[in-house]
Amino acid sequence: MSENKTTLAIIIPCYNEELVVKSTVERLLEVLNDIISKGKISSDSYIYLVDDGSKDKTWEIIEELHAKYGSKVRGTKFIRNYGNQKALIAGLLGVKEIGCDCVVSIDADLQQDENAIEIFVDEFHKGAEIVSGIRNDRKTDSFFKKYTALCFYKLMNILGVKIPPNHSDFRLVSKKALDILEKYSEEGLFLRGFFHELGLKTAYVHFDVKPRALGNSKYNFFSLTSLALNGITAFSIVPLRIIAAVGVLTVLGSFLLALEVLFEKYILHSAPSGWATLVILLAFFGGLQIFCLGIIGEYMGQIFNEVKSRPRYIKEKEIV
């Protein structure tokens, strides 16, 4: 049998993952070798780790793994922590530069089912440019994370970004998708929205989520909120339109109110009472205005970040 020429790269963002990175890489090498032995991918396939500015021994372990497995295990290290999205982008662009036909991204804690990678590859061979991993459930997520995530996807759908719920960053993308990614210089690129919006042929594969074996989740309330806000403001301007619509409705409402007040004063000759109404309206519209300003501020912040066009991340080291 002639060797399959499809080179698969697996990228892993790692932030303080010294407890799991070795076992994860070894498990993924097993998975790679298994798919290679079935003739579905080339023996040049490899793993590429992005150390997102870890403060623990993650990078040393990556170097040890490279020394042991050679070009099967490559990687890069950021000078500081830039966040999981940036690490993923660096992984995608890094393997594009090294060379591959398709790339799978997976978390360092292997919460996603690594056995699904073979199914991703099968879908790629059937013609899919993007294979998206969809979680079967969110049993392993905290109550808070589960419901905020559901609300986020619901909101994104309402705002016109039709990402399927329970989406994840566990996905395969083809070289063609990477070529397009390279053209997007956006600093705050939200990958889930980006790959969905491309409109390339996409397949969906459901997988089971495992609990994190060791270490803690690297996300907290603030980083999740920031990811969600970035996702919305990077992909939808519907909130701005809603503000405009609310403004128009408010003006109409206040016009009717003014008519009523004038009617009471000049026709009925009764001084309009309504201290309570006044206070409630004042408080309500005060709150509404600040909320709307907050939304506009989010977009301004997005523009502020983009306009400076600083580099997305700075690499400190690279092993290829």
Residues in contact with ligand UDP by the rule CB under 6 A: 13-15, 17, 52, 81, 83-84, 87, 107-109, 111, 217-219
Q: Residues binding Mg ion: what is the number (CB under 5 A)?
A: 3
Strand partners of residue 50: 13, 76
Interacting residues of 98 by C-beta distance below 8 A, sequence separation 6+: 9, 46, 48, 74, 320
Which of helix, strand or coil describes residue 259? helix
User: Which is nearer to ligand UDP, 6 or 84 (by Cβ)?
Assistant: 84
Q: Which residue is nearest to ligand UDP (CB)?
A: 217
d(CA 251, CA 59): 59
* Smallest gap from residue 81 Cβ to ligand UDP (A): 5
Q: Is 109 in the site for Mg ion (CB under 5 A)?
A: yes
User: Which is nearer to Mg ion, 44 or 109 (by Cβ)?
Assistant: 109
Q: How far from chain centre, in Å, is Cα 188?
A: 10
* Smallest gap from residue 226 Cβ to ligand UDP (A): 11
User: Which is nearer to ligand UDP, 72 or 218 (by Cβ)?
Assistant: 218
Q: Is 233 in the site for Mg ion (CB under 5 A)?
A: no
Six token digits for residue 233: 């403001």
Q: What is the CA radius of gyration of the chain?
A: 25
* Smallest gap from residue 44 Cβ to ligand UDP (A): 24
Angle at CA of residue 155, ends 192 and 109, nearest 5°? 40
Using CA atoms, how far residue 238 sits from 161, 234, 244, 250, 306, in Å, is 10, 11, 10, 18, 19
d(CA 192, CA 190): 6
- Confirm if 110 and 24 have CB atoms less than 8 A apart: yes
Partner touching 13 among ligand UDP, Mg ion, none, CB below 5 to 8 Å by kind? ligand UDP
Q: How far from chain centre, in Å, is Cα 79?
A: 21
Partner touching 17 among ligand UDP, Mg ion, none, CB below 5 to 8 Å by kind? ligand UDP
d(CA 130, CA 81): 28
Q: Which of 53, 55, 52, 51 is nearest to 63 (CA)?
A: 51
State which of residues 84, 111, 132, 302 lies at the interface with Mg ion (CB under 5 A).
111
Partner touching 193 among Mg ion, ligand UDP, none, CB below 5 to 8 Å by kind? none
Partner touching 21 among ligand UDP, Mg ion, none, CB below 5 to 8 Å by kind? none
* Smallest gap from residue 219 Cβ to Mg ion (A): 8
Partner touching 219 among ligand UDP, Mg ion, none, CB below 5 to 8 Å by kind? ligand UDP
* Smallest gap from residue 280 Cβ to ligand UDP (A): 41
* Smallest gap from residue 216 Cβ to Mg ion (A): 9
User: Which is nearer to Mg ion, 107 or 123 (by Cβ)?
Assistant: 107
* Smallest gap from residue 212 Cβ to Mg ion (A): 5
Which of helix, strand or coil describes residue 170? strand
Which of helix, strand or coil describes residue 139? coil
User: Which is nearer to ligand UDP, 14 or 31 (by Cβ)?
Assistant: 14
Binding site for Mg ion (CB under 5 A): 107, 109, 111
